[in-house]
Amino acid sequence: MDDLQKQWLELDNRIRTWWEGDLRSAQELDIIRDDQRTLLFLPFPYSSAGGSESVFPEMYGWDTFFINLGMLAHGLYDQVRNHIYNQLFMIERYGKVLNGNRTYYLTRSQTPLLAESVRRYATARPDPELLMMAYPLLKREYLEYWNSLHHFTPIGLSTNRDQGDIGLRPELASEAETGLDFCALFGGDIRECAPLLTNCALVKYAQTLGWIAAVLGWDSQAVEWQQEAERRAALIREYCWDEQEGFFFEYNYVRKEPIKVRSLCAYWTLWAGVATPIQAERVAAQLWRFEHTHGLSFTDQVYPSPHPEFIWLQWGYPSGWPPMHIITVEGLDAAGFSEDAERVARKFLALQMAQYAETGKLWEKYNIVDGNLKFPMERYSLPPLHGWSSAAVTVLGRRLFEKNKTKLVRGQS
Does 406 have pLDDT greater than 70? Answer: no
pLDDT of residue 167: 59
pLDDT band for position 166 (50/70/90)? Answer: low
Tell whether 408 is covered by a domain: no
Is 404's pLDDT higher than 70?
no
**Confidence label for 52 from pLDDT (cuts 50, 70 and 90):** confident
- Rounded to whole angstroms, the Cα distance separating 50 from 59 reads 9
- Segment 206-214 shows an average pLDDT of 98
Q: How far is CA 258 from CA 108, 195, 328, in A?
A: 25, 11, 22
Bigger pLDDT: 353 or 376?
353
* pTM of the predicted protein model: 0.96
- Say if 406 falls within a structural domain: no
CATH of the domain at 75: 1.50.10.10
DSSP line for 280-340: HHHHHTTGGGTEETTEE-SBSS----SSTT-SS-SBSTTEE-HHHHHHHHHHHHHTT-HHH
Q: What is the rounded CA–CA span in Å between residue 349 and residue 184?
A: 26
Q: Which one has a higher pLDDT value, 403 or 357?
A: 357
Per the DSSP assignment, residues forming a β-bridge with 363 are 384
SS3 263: strand
Q: Which residues does 217 contact at the CB level (< 8 Å), separation at least 6?
A: none
pLDDT classification of 403: cutoffs 50, 70, 90: low
Beta bridge partners of 152: 158
Residue 413 has pLDDT above 60, yes or no: no
Mean pLDDT, range 292-301, rounded to an integer: 98
Q: What pLDDT is attached to residue 4?
A: 95
Q: What is the dihedral of CA 229, 198, 413, 141, to 10 degrees?
A: -70
Q: Is residue 409 part of a domain?
A: no
Domain assignment present for 35: yes
Q: Is residue 412 a part of any domain in this protein?
A: no
Tell me, yes or no, whether 88 lies in a domain. yes
- 412 falls in which pLDDT band (50, 70, 90)? very low
Question: Coil, strand or helix: which one is 250?
Answer: strand
326 within domain boundaries: yes
Starting at the edge strand found earlier in the chain, the sheet holding 250-252 runs 193-194, 250-252, 257-259
Q: Average the pLDDT over 127-143 and give the result.
A: 98
pLDDT at site 237:
98
Residue 380: predicted pLDDT: 73
The answer, yes or no, to whether residue 93 has pLDDT greater than 80, is: yes
Confidence of residue 376 (pLDDT cuts 50, 70, 90): confident
Q: What is the mean pLDDT of the chain?
A: 94
User: Residue 407: inside a domain, yes or no?
Assistant: no
Name the domain count of the chain. 1
Radius of gyration in angstroms for the set of CA atoms belonging to the chain, rounded to a whole number: 20
**Weakest-pLDDT range from 96-105, 121-130, 274-283, 302-311:** 302-311
What domain range includes position 190?
A: 3-401
